């Protein structure tokens, strides 16, 4: 069981600027979408939660097992574009 680190409320995260990054390069970033294995469709990571190495590993296990992962687009995930990235 992976305990999520909630950085922003889901509402705030939904409305923040975002960018698409490779899943394997997203460690430490904050998700601006939901990523879920289907079935059963339970989110692995949700809006405003930090993406960790454990989460990336879990998603890669699902992908290698042939389980569909909703919220990925050709191996990329939407993450919040935080203000410090503009500097």
pTM: 0.88
DSSP 1-69: -PPP-B-S-HHHHHHS-EEEEEGGG-TT-BBSS-EEEETT--EEE-TTBBP-HHHHHHHHHHHHTT-EE
**What digits encode the pLDDT tens for the residues 25-83?**
999 999 999 999 998 888 999 999 999 999 999 999 999 999 999 999 999 999 999 76
Quote the pLDDT of residue 84.
Answer: 59
């Amino acid at each position: 069981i992976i305990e999520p680190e909630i950085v922003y409320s889901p509402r705030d995260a939904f409305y923040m600027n975002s960018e698409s990054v490779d899943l394997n390069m997203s460690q430490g970033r904050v998700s601006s979408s939901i990523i879920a294995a289907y079935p059963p469709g339970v989110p692995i990571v949700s809006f405003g939660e930090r993406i960790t190495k454990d989460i990336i590993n879990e998603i890669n296990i699902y992908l290698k097992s042939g389980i569909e992962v909703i919220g990925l687009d050709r191996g990329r995930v939407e993450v919040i574009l935080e203000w410090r990235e503009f500097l």
